[in-house]
Chain A
């Protein structure tokens, strides 16, 4: 019950965070193979345009 009354944010578990970091490394490189060089180039090109669009999304 005390947990329900607490307003502390629950921190993610460190072991899960480490697992996710390693998974991201592998999965991002697999995704890059899926979309190919052009897809990766297009992905980074999307960051070049419209700083305001990203700020709005924040």
Chain B
């Protein structure tokens, strides 16, 4: 069996439509609340392009499929003349992947998260942003981000990378 290769890409009109339809099929099976999804994809349609200081929707795709496995909300912010931030604000899982997670299989959900993080880091390079901030709204999210920080601190020792928790964000600065 071929290994699934996931990519982090902006939505095209075609992939946005295919994803909306794919997630509607999941909702029809009772895996999600359809009006909530409709609001999400209306938002995706309005945020497909990168606009500095505004949110943009990225999809996490199996490279062989047009239906996204996740929708990631990112902003690219210019903080000062010399400093830009990429903020990863939200990650919506395809309902079938969320159902697997609820059933005890976290593997695909974690793959979607990892690809979202890798993609957000790639945006740092593409947009000359030295800082990545990952938002943790709830205390449970912050607990996970703190665990991630602990490992990241060890893994990046000696590298020009500084990770810390700032407020409700995991902040990763590349100097």
Contact = CB atoms under 8 A, between A and B. Distances in A.
Interface of A: 7-14, 16-17, 19-21, 23-32, 34-35, 37, 39-47, 49-51, 53-55, 57-58
Given A10-B130, A53-B137, A20 B148 contact: no
A40 B110 contact: yes
Contacts of B143: 35, 39, 42-43
Contacts of A53: 137
Given A13-B174, A43-B144, A47-B92, 11 more contacts: A12-B124, A12-B128, A16-B159, A21-B118, A31-B148, A40-B144, A42-B144, A44-B113, A47-B90, A53-B137, A54-B135
Interface residues of B, number: 56
A9 B84 contact: yes
A57 B174 contact: no
Given A13-B174, A16-B160, A57-B135, A24 B118 contact: yes
A46 B109 CA distance: 14
Contacts of A27: 148, 151-152, 155
Nearest to A32: B110
Given A11-B125, A47-B91, A20 B156 contact: yes
* A interface: dominant SS: helix
A42 B174 contact: no
B63 interface: no
A58 B55 CA distance: 8
B81 A7 contact: yes
B90 A24 contact: no
Which of A32, A35, A37 is most buried by chain B, counting CB atoms within 10 A of its CB?
A32
Nearest to B144: A43
A51 B90 contact: yes
Contacts of B73: 54
A43 B148 CA distance: 12
